[in-house]
């Protein structure tokens, strides 16, 4: 889309903060079913989930962002994203909003957040009194051994 038109995003929450991914990167969102633990996974990978006919690694986004893990409840969702032809699942606290975000509402993360510890933050969107952290899925998963060929 060009001009002032917004891109569609899937919004989800992790530890009280709202995050967004472009909807084109999200295959589907499911309730959390059984997560099967696997040996030698990265500390933030809870295991794998059988989702819609495919085995998908499950990244616990609380652990990925350095927060304490929380017990899954009825709001917990498994957001399946697609990157370079591979699927990866993000375990998030809640995911139930779809929003068009105008590019003009997205601000660079700033020097305090850019690079360093949070290279996966593409920007911060302000919509009314809400702040939404826009994630760069490629950067978020850049260190994922599960995506290595």
Mean pLDDT in residue range 107-121: 71
- 63 and 43 in contact (C-beta within 8 Å)? yes
Q: Of all residues in the chain, what percent carry a pLDDT higher than 90?
A: 63
3-41 per-position pLDDT tens digit = 445 789 999 999 999 999 999 999 999 998 789 999 988
pTM: 0.86
Ordered by start, the domain boundaries in the chain are 6-140
Looking at every residue in the chain, the average pLDDT score rounds to 86
The pLDDT of residue 117: 61
Q: ∠142-144-149 over CA atoms, to 5°? A: 95
The yes-or-no verdict on residue 125 having pLDDT over 90 is yes
**CATH architecture under which domain 6-140 falls:** Beta Barrel (2.40)
């Amino acid at each position: 889309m060009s001009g002032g038109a917004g891109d569609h995003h899937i919004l989800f929450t992790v530890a009280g903060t709202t995050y967004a991914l472009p909807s084109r990167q999200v295959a589907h969102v499911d309730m959390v079913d059984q997560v099967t633990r696997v040996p030698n996974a990265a500390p933030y990978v809870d295991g794998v989930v059988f989702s819609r006919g495919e085995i998908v690694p499950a990244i616990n986004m609380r652990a990925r962002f350095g927060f304490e893990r929380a017990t899954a409840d009825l709001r917990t969702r498994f957001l399946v994203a697609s990157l370079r032809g591979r699927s990866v699942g993000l375990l998030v606290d809640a995911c139930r909003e779809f929003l068009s975000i105008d590019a003009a509402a997205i601000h660079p993360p700033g020097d305090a957040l850019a690079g360093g510890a949070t290279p996966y933050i593409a920007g911060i969107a302000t919509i009314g009194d809400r702040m939404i952290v826009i994630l760069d899925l490629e950067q978020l998963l850049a260190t994922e051994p599960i995506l290595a060929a």
